[in-house]
Structure 1
Amino acid sequence: MKKFSLSGSRVFSSFAGTVLLAAGLSASVPARADGNAEPFTPLSEPGSAGLGAVARVGPSPYREGGSRHDVLPLYLFEGEQVFLDANRAGVKLLNGGDQRLDLFVAQRIEGFPSDRLPASLTGMAMRDSGIDLGLSWRYRQPWGNVQAEFLHDAGNTSKGNELRLGYSYDWRSGPWRLSPSLSVALRDARLNNYYYGVRGSEAAAGRPAYAPGAGINTTLGLYGSYDLSQRWRLLAGLSATVLDGKIKDSPIVQKRVLPGVYVGAAYDFGGHEPEWAKEGSPTWFKLLYGKATDDGCHLLKIVTAQCLSTASVNATSIAGVQVGKTFLENVNGWPLDFVGYVGLTHHHERGLQRNGVQLDLFMKAFYSGFPWSDRVKTRLGLGAGVSAAQRSPYVEASSQAANGKPTSRLLQYLDPTLDLSLGDLIGSRALKDTYIGFGVSHRSGIFGASRLLGNVNGGSNYLYTYIESAL
């Protein structure tokens, strides 16, 4: 059985790599009723990485919550000692042929919708998605796979705990793979009371105070994939979660059985040694400054150059620093690199509210295969991850207040950019890996994929300029 063992700078590199791998997980996963998207991890080789997307359709558990339609990206990585499995990133403490023990962080895909609050939840405090710290044990045999994992709310959102026990069976035939599964989730009172309870201060006519207490949810799933080629795979799945009876009795819950349908695709880049694990791997440093756009200047208008102006009234600004490590370079011989970033951004609210900071974690793809890149290297970048704000920025708070909707400090983060090599522009070899450019700092609702088209409230856009250099 292989044990976790690192030394010297490799300890820091692996730890930093794990944190940066988490960039893609928190806001880039399909929302399953049991909060685990692990079946959608179709990597075939150790050291491989993958990209994809999954669309999910399913009902909200909350009264008048309607259906949720999510189209979200998948970022996948399977390293020797670290991994990214759709909605979690972690370290392999033990990794043998039949057993594996992981320490991981994962986003809990629960909470009130941040983009469209149903009437049944009006007047209640927001229930946010949380970040869990977990320990997972898996035992694989020809007769199936047994898994046990313990999760604790590390972000102090619900302060709750959960124990999950599951069984699955992997069936393969040619390009087909099917995996039926059954799992039970033993949830403590703090977890259930937070997401499905009604506090005394929130009680109203037709919505009495209620605390469901501890309970057990059960999930039955069938997940599958089909290999279109050596690298491309189609993904699909069906699931049904039966909520504990005490959760169903909550005045804000309308359904006990929550079905889910998933359809997607993924591309497996194959095995690569991550660049950040190599000696001499560069670290990227980026300084940025930007200003907020008007509320109607959404991301699609910006990237199509239909709206490139900043707000003229109540113009707030941001300044920040981002630090990144390259994970993959020239994937499959393409001019395509992947870099993981952690960023700290300061919001200058110009007296409209208290200033604040936000922490951004994201994975970013850079394409540099333009015809002129041999003369002036040009990079087109797209980053996706999660953004956690100390307090909701003014542009988000004011927009949501005008629409009578709540804000959320934890939102999806997108970072499209375009830049040029400063060294190529001025003829300096020393500045070859220094870039100047502009981008968009975009926050939007965790479930609000359609905000990319300007249809869902709950986010913000800042146009910014920056300089970035590799050291």
Structure 2
Amino acid sequence: MYFTSRPPLIAAFTLAMTLHSAVAQAESPPKEEKNSRWGLGLGIGRETSPYRSVKTDTKILPLLTFENDYARLFGPSLDVKLPSAGLVSFTLRARYSDAGYEASDAAELQGMEKRNGGLWLGARTDLRLPLANLSAEWLGDASNRSGGQQIRLEASHRSQFGSVNVMPRLAMVWQDSSYVDYYYGIRATESRVGRAAYDGTSSINTELGLRMNISLAPKHSTSVDVSHTILGSSIKDSPLVGRSGISAVRASYLYSF
């Protein structure tokens, strides 16, 4: 079933960002601009693909970050900060995803139509507790490629060891049937001998991860993030999938100013 409220979703997100930006500009004096923080750097990542015989790619990308009292940009995510209170914070989120594949990526995908990534819009809330940081995030496919939705629940804990910041995490990610069917399903027109038609259903993935941030010098920092995601049964059962889980390693260098 496709996510049918795309225009209202985009309109609501755009309106919220516009109103929040207008209020922020009206209420903040010029000196608030000093709270803006920029960063430039380089990121490198390597992640296994869930699809059969698809090679693991290494990606090297420039990194631009920005944050002030009202917005935060980091990698493929842009957050608009909403009024928050105490230990709880709320944000609107836009994120670009490069999920998907092309038929030329592997012999097992020959005859499959291309699956595209796209823009996802939604919201996130964070609860900061002494023992753990808890977060909940909902995103909907604003590009209307899959028509899907995702919900992510995460628990993490941050520890400081001198100039090294360590944060392990555990996350559960629910993806609805539209998402799973688009990226892992096989349409009747795509079925072949040895590749039967497959209708994907909703799935829950489990992610274990560890992130380390290291301060090298004033304004200079680097980070390393390693993770492993255990795929849900509806994804693992797809004839297109050849792994029970996917692993990723990402590293970055950032100069802040």
Same fold, judged at TM 0.5 (above):
yes
**C-alpha distance in structure 1 between counterparts of 2:145 and 2:249, whole Å:** 28
Alignment of 1:123-272 (within 5 A): 123-269=111-257
Q: Structure 1 residues 101 and 123, CA, compared in 2 at 3 Å: closer, same or farther?
A: same
Contact residue 102 and residue 113 of structure 2 kept, 8 A: no
Task: Please state how far the C-alpha of 1:264 moved relative to its aligned partner.
Answer: 2.1
Alignment of 1:64-463 (within 5 A): 64-112=53-101, 117-269=105-257
**C-alpha distance in structure 2 between counterparts of 1:8 and 1:134, whole Å:** 20
Q: Structure 1 residues 160 and 166, CA, compared in 2 at 3 Å: closer, same or farther?
A: same
Q: Structure 1 residues 171 and 109, CA, compared in 2 at 3 Å: closer, same or farther?
A: farther
Amino acid at match of 2:157: Y
**C-alpha distance in structure 2 between counterparts of 1:124 and 1:77, whole Å:** 39
Contact residue 99 and residue 139 of structure 1 kept, 8 A: yes
- Identify which of 32, 53, 58 aligns with 2:42: 53
Question: Cα deviations across residues 263-315 of structure 1 (Å, max 9, x unaligned)?
Answer: 2211111xxxxxxxxxxxxxxxxxxxxxxxxxxxxxxxxxxxxxxxxxxxxxx
Task: Please state how far the C-alpha of 1:140 moved relative to its aligned partner.
Answer: 0.9
**C-alpha distance in structure 1 between counterparts of 2:98 and 2:173, whole Å:** 14
Contact residue 24 and residue 70 of structure 2 kept, 8 A: no
2:10 alignment counterpart = none
**C-alpha distance in structure 2 between counterparts of 1:65 and 1:111, whole Å:** 11
Task: Please state how far the C-alpha of 1:108 moved relative to its aligned partner.
Answer: 2.1
Contact residue 148 and residue 163 of structure 1 kept, 8 A: yes
Amino acid at match of 1:66: K
Q: Structure 1 residues 265 and 188, CA, compared in 2 at 3 Å: closer, same or farther?
A: same
Task: Please state how far the C-alpha of 1:113 moved relative to its aligned partner.
Answer: 5.0
Task: Please state how far the C-alpha of 1:46 moved relative to its aligned partner.
Answer: 4.8
Q: TM-score, normalised by structure 1?
A: 0.47
Higher helix share: 2
Superposition CA RMSD, Å:
2.0
SS in 2 for 1:228: strand
Task: Please state how far the C-alpha of 1:95 moved relative to its aligned partner.
Answer: 3.6
1:411 alignment counterpart = none
Task: Please state how far the C-alpha of 1:6 moved relative to its aligned partner.
Answer: 5.2
Amino acid at match of 1:124: M
**C-alpha distance in structure 1 between counterparts of 2:193 and 2:60, whole Å:** 36
Structure with greater Cα Rg: 1
Q: Structure 1 residues 198 and 81, CA, compared in 2 at 3 Å: closer, same or farther?
A: same
Task: Please state how far the C-alpha of 1:85 moved relative to its aligned partner.
Answer: 2.4
Task: Please state how far the C-alpha of 1:257 moved relative to its aligned partner.
Answer: 1.2
Count of residue correspondences: 232
**C-alpha distance in structure 1 between counterparts of 2:196 and 2:182, whole Å:** 15
Question: Cα deviations across residues 148-191 of structure 1 (Å, max 9, x unaligned)?
Answer: 01110011110001111000111112210011001111111000
Contact residue 130 and residue 158 of structure 1 kept, 8 A: no
**C-alpha distance in structure 2 between counterparts of 1:86 and 1:245, whole Å:** 30
**C-alpha distance in structure 1 between counterparts of 2:239 and 2:126, whole Å:** 37
Q: Among the aligned pairs, what percent are the same residue?
A: 32
Amino acid at match of 1:103: L
SS in 2 for 1:247: helix
Q: Structure 1 residues 9 and 232, CA, compared in 2 at 3 Å: closer, same or farther?
A: closer
Q: Structure 1 residues 197 and 5, CA, compared in 2 at 3 Å: closer, same or farther?
A: closer
> Can you give the 5+ residue segments of structure 2 that lack an aligned partner in the other structure?
1-18, 27-33
Amino acid at match of 2:228: A
Q: Structure 1 residues 102 and 205, CA, compared in 2 at 3 Å: closer, same or farther?
A: same
Contact residue 61 and residue 253 of structure 1 kept, 8 A: yes
Amino acid at match of 2:172: V
Q: TM-score, normalised by structure 2?
A: 0.85
1:394 alignment counterpart = none
Q: Structure 1 residues 78 and 8, CA, compared in 2 at 3 Å: closer, same or farther?
A: closer
Contact residue 40 and residue 65 of structure 2 kept, 8 A: yes
**C-alpha distance in structure 2 between counterparts of 1:264 and 1:90, whole Å:** 20
**C-alpha distance in structure 1 between counterparts of 2:126 and 2:35, whole Å:** 17
**C-alpha distance in structure 2 between counterparts of 1:124 and 1:113, whole Å:** 8
